[in-house]
Structure 1
Amino acid sequence: MTNMIESGISSDAASDNILADEDRRKQDRHIAMLRLAKIKTESGEGWGFIKNLSATGMMVEVHPDFELSDGISALLTEDQELAGTVRWRKKALAGIEFTTPIDIAEVLAKPNEAKHGRISRLPRIEMKHPINLYQGSRLIHGDICDISPAGICVSTDFTFEIGKNLRLSVPELLDITGTVRWQSGQRVGIVFSKRLPLDDLMVWLSTFYRAARIDTGVLEVLHKGSDTGGAVEATADCLPFQVIGHDDLGKEILIDTMYSATEALTQFKATSKFFYRVSIRNADNVELSIGTIVLQAFDEERAAAKAQSS
């Protein structure tokens, strides 16, 4: 066997090579995970899941209808942002290469106190949407400023008492209860009594963005520019819809059979709390994304409104 002296390789050079190999292995190491994150792109923002992570990149899962631009960032908390470039996209999954390598241990550490002693919180989606708040029997009108599964910020002229319990009513979402945590001018911070189910919130957000795109005409442009839009709509039109409940052992239970996307969506929201997971399939037994069902439900509503007006 040739030793380092015979080969002309110094011990220092060998040590450097070993350290370089260790650094490369650390960067190549992928950690499987499932972490909720706010996904920001040039075209909009929403929620997704980080499914695996390395020092140089990550794989995220988003709605298939969520448009991703080249530049993207994922926020695990308000103070923890991972920025990079989309390198590949396959339906709901996308591969992101980070702009600069990250420290995985630091990213995975539990959030500690952030700046000014404030605890890091889940990132929120900024928006403007009407909301009704009830303090006892009193109705108060306001607008949503931002929302997350844990809380909401609203804008209103009403002055609240800190610690007061409220009931919040938002179209397409179930009634929510919460507590006033802070108020600054017209902006009021409310923490929910119970975290909102992410599926319900994503369905509602999809509906909100869908309506906004219809109003601005952006949706038609997106549909025309989509290579898969026609195929998605074709599978969604394959009736009837089957709403399937899944337990944590993989067993499937047929909850109901529906003949409209609107009914299927309603059943999905009503039964999600009773199962490990709920899915919707078409007559060809193809599982459909919630985004696809929301789009189909909107098409049904528009067709019904057009029929009534004619």
Structure 2
Amino acid sequence: MEQIEQQQSTSAERRSGQRHSAVLLLGKVCGDVPGVCLVHNISANGLMARFVDVPVVGEAIRIEVRGLPPVSGTVRWVRGKKAGVQFDAPQPYQNIFSSENEDGTIPRPPRFPVTLAAEVRLGDRKFASELIDVSAGGAKLVADDLVQPGLAGHIVIRPMGTALFGTICWVKDGRFGFRFVSPLPIDTLAAIVAAR
């Protein structure tokens, strides 16, 4: 009985502080091989997320989410694909809700560097390209072919054969941004990142 009360007390202490449930933020697990997670709730002291590659209790981890730099912490519990991470130091988690960073830029979800062959299809035009980074909302590609903002179409990522529909949103120095029609599901994003 005493042990149960002690566990409940410890659990309450860990969960003290304001939390925001169901924020559903894309998270980037930083490391030599980046990983993907979906943050369900966050506070100044930690977060709970669903992981594609599930960490283990006691593991040191760094996670980046919109509005915060990569944050270091320790995995405190794991249940199925979900895990709780305690930050090494309190974080200004309110920044994830800001529409503007302190430097005036717009906070955006983490991007994942990749190097994957892709085929771009815009109307009746088709050309080879290279995918150089991806997020849930879009991708950055390189191509010698002339493209212009506003053109709609899709990209096919090789060798996976995954087709992603969207619109070219910017063009600069032989690179262009491609905004997806709808955000990628976490498992699709994780598969693209893993194929890198």
Q: TM-score, normalised by structure 1?
A: 0.50
- 1:38 deviates by 2.4
Structure 1 residue identity aligned to 2:157: V
Greater share of strand: 2
Deviation at 1:34, TM superposition (A): 4.3
The AA in structure 1 aligned to 2:176 is V
The 1:138–1:115 alpha-carbon spacing in structure 2 relative to 1, beyond 3 Å, is farther
Q: 2:76 aligns with which of 88, 91, 94?
A: 88
Greater shift, 61-70 or 169-178, is seen at: 61-70
Computing the radius of gyration over CA atoms, which structure comes out larger, 1 or 2? Answer: 1
Please name the residue that 2:133 is paired with: 146
Separation in 2 of the partners of 1:73 and 1:45? 10
What's the offset of the Cα at 1:137? 2.0
Residue identity in the other structure for 1:192:
F
Higher RCO (CA < 8 A, seq sep 6+): 2
Could you tell me how far 1:173 is from its partner in structure 2? Answer: 5.0
TM-score by length of 2: 0.74
Runs (5+) with no aligned partner, structure 1: 1-24, 210-310
Contact 2:136 2:183 in 1 (8 A): yes
Distance 1:69 1:130 in 2: 37
| Cα shift at 1:168 | 1.2
Check whether the contact 1:152–1:191 (CA below 8 A) recurs between aligned residues: yes
Q: Distance in 2 between matches of 1:69 and 1:40?
A: 15
Q: Percent identity?
A: 19
**Equivalences for residues 239-254 of structure 1 within 5 A:** none
Q: Quote the Cα distance in structure 2 between the aligned partners of 1:36 and 1:112.
A: 14
1:119: which partner in 2? 106
Work out the CA distance in 2 between the residues paired with 1:187 and 1:68: 41
Segments of structure 2 that go 5 or more residues without pairing to the other structure are 1-12
Q: How many residues align?
A: 181
1:1-310 matched pairs, under 5 angstroms: 28-29=16-17, 31=19, 32-64=21-53, 70-77=59-66, 79-81=67-69, 83-90=71-78, 91-104=80-93, 106-109=94-97, 111-114=98-101, 117-171=104-158, 172=160, 174-206=162-194, 208=195
Q: Secondary structure of 1:81's match?
A: coil
